[in-house]
Amino acid sequence: MNPLAGPMTQQRSRELGGLLIAIAAAIKLTWFLGSFGGQRSVLASIVLGIIVVPIAALLFWIGVTLVVMNWDHPADYPPADPAPLDD
């Protein structure tokens, strides 16, 4: 099932978030295991880590946000009427 097909529901949002978390974990695991493979120098692993870690962290953060977000019945909806300005 394609998580991007069809209307976005809370369940589909959670599935997409879980998918992003899994992708982030796979990226980090691949980088981590590749660093100890002996094929790359320490400097190359550090430089690649500087590139890979923020990308994986961003994917993980977006995934967690999608998983825990309650957008079917948010607590702040409907928005309250703004207070009138006293001018």
Closest CA to 65 of 19, 23, 30, 14: 14
Rounded mean pLDDT of 48-57? 89
Whether the per-residue pLDDT at 60 is higher than 70: the answer is yes
Q: Which residue has the higher pLDDT, 72 or 44?
A: 44
Whether the per-residue pLDDT at 3 is higher than 60: the answer is no
Please tell me the distance from the alpha carbon of residue 56 to that of residue 82, in angstroms, as a whole number.
39
Domain residue ranges of the chain, discontinuous segments joined by +: 10-68
Q: Which residue has the higher pLDDT, 15 or 83?
A: 15
Alpha-carbon 70 to chain mean position: 16
pTM for the full model? 0.69
Work out the pLDDT band at 87, boundaries 50, 70, 90. Answer: low
What is the reported pLDDT for 85? 66
